[in-house]
Amino acid sequence: MKRDFKEFKSFIKGKKTAVVGLGVSNRPLIDFLINLGAKVSGFDKKNENQFQEVADELKGKGVTLMLGDNYLDNLTGYDVVFKTPSMRIDCDALKKAAAEGAYITSEMEEFVRYCPAKIFGVTGSDGKTTTTSLIYSMLKAEGYRTWVGGNIGTPLFTKIEEMKETHKVVLELSSFQLMTMNVSPEVAVITNLSPNHLDMHKSMEEYIMAKENIYLYQNEQDLLVLNKDNEITSSMAGKAPGRLMRFSIKEMPPKGAWYSDGILYLEGKEVCEKKNIIIKGMHNVENFLAAFCAVSDEVKIENMKKIAETFSGVEHRCEFVRELNGVKYYNDSIATSPTRTLAGIIAFEKPVILIAGGYDKKLPFDVLAEQGMDHIKSLILVGATKNKIKESFDKEFEKRGTTIPVIIAETFEEAIIKAKEAAAAGDIVTLAPACASFDMFPNFADRGNAFKEIVNKL
């Protein structure tokens, strides 16, 4: 049973409230809390000179600012603390605030708690954004007023009073957003799980436990959608508090969606043929099957089919950029894990010239070397992990007694130029880094945009 947002409005009014992180997504939250009568302070490790305009604007609205290297030292004496998703709940500053009696929360937790509309939550290591976008598109095709948020779209908590019970909401949820959740969406989808974000999580076990919060607080009417082919997600089936559907590209699950002989099925009914799906690769077949399960109560088969045959993908996900001298360039900057990169390069069905490397999330790259070598014609490495990835491939070369060309680049632009030099007519060059972007770019979208800009100038 959803809680009435009037409860939150009454609770927050007059409360001394801290918002940690003054990035773009938190600024609408600050305005919203001010309008609800909260006394807001903003915290950020950047100093005032680094975002003077924003600081001046916030101060003009009566927001007290705590900035600079030791900004969390001042997180004391607050009634409510909205933490940024990547901030661990067990960090010293939050433990101290909680011990003082502060209510520690996040924008996403409060949104799920009070949103009047039915929520479809999507998480997983790979395929989250595509699956979220597919569910959103299918619900819209059925005629529902649909909102999309979480990791994509706009911050939704500030729009909560515009939402109605008849609306639908689709959220892409990261392990960081889920880590402290004690509420779950009515429909929960876990696309797959493999090692990821081990720079932030203490262990793989903690990462899995965070993901499980997407369904652990569901009721018996709610729906959990799991990947039957993934060992970790498949093992969660017995914990489902409500209804369970599974999807598979290998076999027919007791209840759910599956792929067989070129056709995608839902509950025994043919939805579409694989050859008619625009976005290629078996990983995208999985994404479609997950989406079919998620919307099975709301969307007619013909609308699922329509989206399957018209959906052309999401920016930065195996996105075609241009063809130059017979060479096709693709931007798959969203591929921030080895398994996501592997799925992307296999989808091309011919060996590619791969540009990889970036920020180190403490993930092993052995799986990319072992399973990806046959799908790579030349490997261009750049960024903080370039040598770590090279070591994994060197190990595989030694094991097999054969190699592929590996080229080290010092800059992002140099990597693209070296890829162009390595390519011949008929080749595919893809940026699929297998790593986050933070060593060189603020996020994967900025990295993808830089790639497209450089490629279009070649």
Look up the pTM and report it. 0.77
For residue 52, what pLDDT band results from cuts at 50, 70 and 90? confident
For residue 49, what pLDDT band results from cuts at 50, 70 and 90? confident
* Residue 159, H or E segment: none
Pair 340, 360 in one domain: yes
Higher pLDDT, 246 or 126: 246
The pLDDT of residue 23: 77
For residue 376, what pLDDT band results from cuts at 50, 70 and 90? very high
In percent, the amount of the chain with pLDDT more than 70 equals 98
198 pLDDT above the threshold of 80 = no
User: Does any domain span residue 210?
Assistant: yes
Query: How far apart are the two ends of the chain, measured CA to CA in Å?
Result: 56
272 pLDDT above the threshold of 80 = yes
Structural domain count, the chain: 3
Higher pLDDT, 291 or 68: 291
- Of 287, 308, 329, which residue constitutes the final position of a domain? 308
Owner of token pair 């773009």:
24
For residue 196, what pLDDT band results from cuts at 50, 70 and 90? low
User: Does any domain span residue 314?
Assistant: no
- CB atoms near residue 314 (< 10 Å): 16
279 pLDDT above the threshold of 90 = no
The pLDDT of residue 153: 62
Pair 205, 346 in one domain: no
Domain span at residue 383 reads 319-457
User: Does any domain span residue 313?
Assistant: no
197 pLDDT above the threshold of 70 = no
Alpha-carbon span 422 to 338, nearest angstrom: 22
1 pLDDT above the threshold of 70 = no
Closest CA to 46 of 18, 65, 74, 19: 65
C-alpha 161, offset from chain centre = 26
Pair 51, 113 in one domain: no
Pair 370, 282 in one domain: no
Phi-psi region of 277 (alpha: psi -120 to 50; beta: other; left: phi over 0): beta
- CATH of residue 276: 3.40.1190.10
- Of 105, 120, 141, which residue constitutes the final position of a domain? 105
Q: Would you give the DSSP letter of residue 4?
A: P
CA angle 170, 306, 154 (to 5 degrees): 25
Query: What is the secondary structure of 365-428 as a DSSP string?
Result: -HHHHHHHGGGEEEEEE-STTHHHHHHHHHHHHHHHT----EEE-SSHHHHHHHHHHH--TT-E
